């Protein structure tokens, strides 16, 4: 079994060994594809993903790799965005971005700020009570949004009463424009 993925206009693809790199106007995506029975090759602006045997697990890997490659092409041409909402009822929360760190101040009245460090390939912006996470790699962008959401996890309070936090409202949308 094989799947063919066409390389979109304006995307440069480099494949060396198990490493795959797609580069476009919105950024760059690097992935490593390694499997004993599934392989990828590039020829004539097309990527061929194929298996050497017809087992269910190998067929599943072919489909997964096809999905990852297609997501990489969408990411480097259009990008991905996660929209999050800051919710608080008890203490006014302040979210700031300093370099590649996201700081959450005064969460549930805590004296010290909660903070996480993100990779350089994600861009986080805060406008009012909305936080947006943008990036070209769907996996890295989604993980960054999940880490921001997890940063505001309530500890020591009843979550039915204290529903404060930062929550994902829309996920994985393609950036328009």
Mean pLDDT for all residues in the chain: 92
The pLDDT value recorded for residue 56 is 94
Q: Which CATH number fits domain 80-174: 3.40.50.1970, 2.60.120.620, 3.90.930.12, 1.20.120.1200?
A: 3.90.930.12
Report how far residue 133's alpha carbon sits from residue 57's, in angstroms, rounded to the nearest whole number. Answer: 34
The pLDDT value recorded for residue 163 is 86
Same CATH fold assignment for domains 2-77 and 80-174: yes
Asked if 152 and 160 count as a contact pair (C-beta separation under 8 A), the reply is no
CA distances from 177 to 92, 145, 152 (A): 33, 21, 31
Return the biggest CA–CA distance within the chain.
59
The pLDDT value recorded for residue 157 is 81
Asked if 70 and 79 count as a contact pair (C-beta separation under 8 A), the reply is no
The pLDDT value recorded for residue 159 is 79
pLDDT band at 120 (very low <50, low <70, confident <90, very high): confident
Report how far residue 121's alpha carbon sits from residue 110's, in angstroms, rounded to the nearest whole number. Answer: 30
Per-residue model confidence as pLDDT tens digits over 16-57: 989 999 999 999 999 999 999 999 999 999 999 999 888 999
Quick one: fold of 2-77?
A: Outer Surface Protein A; domain 3 (3.90.930)
Domain boundaries, given as residue ranges, for the chain: 2-77, 80-174
Q: What pTM did the predictor assign?
A: 0.88
């Amino acid at each position: 079994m094989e799947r063919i993925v066409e390389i979109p206009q304006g995307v440069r693809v480099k494949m060396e060994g198990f490493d795959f790199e797609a580069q476009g106007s919105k950024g760059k995506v690097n992935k490593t594809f390694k499997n004993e029975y599934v392989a990828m090759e590039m020829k004539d602006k097309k990527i061929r993903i194929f298996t050497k045997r017809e087992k269910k697990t190998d067929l599943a890997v072919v489909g997964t790799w096809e999905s990852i490659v297609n997501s990489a092409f969408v990411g480097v041409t259009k990008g991905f965005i996660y929209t999050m909402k800051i919710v608080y009822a008890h203490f006014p929360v302040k979210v700031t971005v300093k370099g590649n760190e996201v700081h959450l101040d005064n969460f549930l009245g805590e004296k010290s700020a909660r903070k996480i460090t993100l990779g350089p390939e994600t861009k986080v912006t805060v406008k009012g009570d909305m936080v947006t996470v943008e990036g070209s790699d769907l996996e890295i962008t989604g993980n960054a949004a999940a880490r921001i959401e997890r940063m505001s996890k309530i500890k020591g309070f009843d979550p039915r009463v204290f529903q404060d936090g930062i929550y994902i409202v829309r996920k994985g949308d393609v950036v328009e424009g």
